[in-house]
Amino acid sequence: MAHGEALCASAAGSVPEYPLTDKLASYVNLTPEETEFLAEMHEPRRKVRRRREIIIAGRQYDHLFILCRGVVCRYKVLQDGKRQVLNLGLPGDFIGLPSSLFDVAVNSVSALTDVVLAPVPFAKLFSLFARFPRLGTALFWSSAREAALYGERLVDLGRRSAYERLAHLILELLIRLRAAGLGDDNSYALPLTQELMADVLGLSGPHVNRMIRTLRDEGLATIEGQRVIIHDLPALSALAGFDERYLTRRPIPGLI
């Protein structure tokens, strides 16, 4: 079984049936009407095989996608062919922001594993804001969390050393995959090849490989095949300067 298939299969029993509902419920207590509307947004669904493109830069789109299962990446290809991975999408995430809000998509999105998507036309999304303002607030709250992810990526590329970047990425994926039901306390199936990790970190593949060996030699973490095992979480967190609060889901203050 291929890695992408294995990841999806292992997640089948743990990923919520309506992952966006599960995410927003961590921000606000949902009413039955809000829950029903979100369930409707998750249908119909379609499958996309791993390595297939979901959104292609330069094309027009009039909808977003709810990622129901699997892992995707958003990326940009430069004129010289180099690729920069901008972020990863996990179950419960909206896929297509901000690309679908421009005349044409400014970035591409590709399936890293077999994925299940629910297309959401703009009209349906706009009706959410009109009919259920609390859900709109929860989506805004969730978007702020995604903005924090981009902030950390800027710090990675601008100020953290290559070794610190790798440590930070490993820890960030641990918290995010664990929240999505795809990881445990100190390990997870890595949805990235070393080549893709290099594209996330802005490094070369051989450099990433050397740092992975150093993590293992220092007893901090091991990447065996596509399984990450963190051996010393406090030490790895100290190395990366990692503070998971920007990833923590918590209720929106004052929203009843």
pLDDT by residue for the chain (256 residues), tens only, comes to 333 433 443 333 444 489 999 999 999 999 999 999 999 999 999 999 999 999 999 998 888 999 999 999 999 999 998 999 999 999 999 998 776 678 889 899 999 999 999 999 988 888 999 999 999 999 999 988 888 998 998 999 899 999 999 999 999 999 999 988 889 999 999 888 889 999 999 999 999 999 999 999 999 999 988 899 999 999 999 999 999 999 988 888 877 6
What φ, ψ does residue 156 adopt, rounded to 5°?
A: -55, -55
Biggest alpha carbon distance in the chain? 55
HSE, CB side, 13 Å, CA atoms: give it for residue 79.
0
Q: Is the peptide bond before 44 cis (omega within 30 degrees of 0)?
A: yes
Domains observed in the chain: 3-154 (2.60.120.10), 162-247 (1.10.10.10)
SS3 content of the chain, % helix, strand, coil (to 5): 45, 20, 35
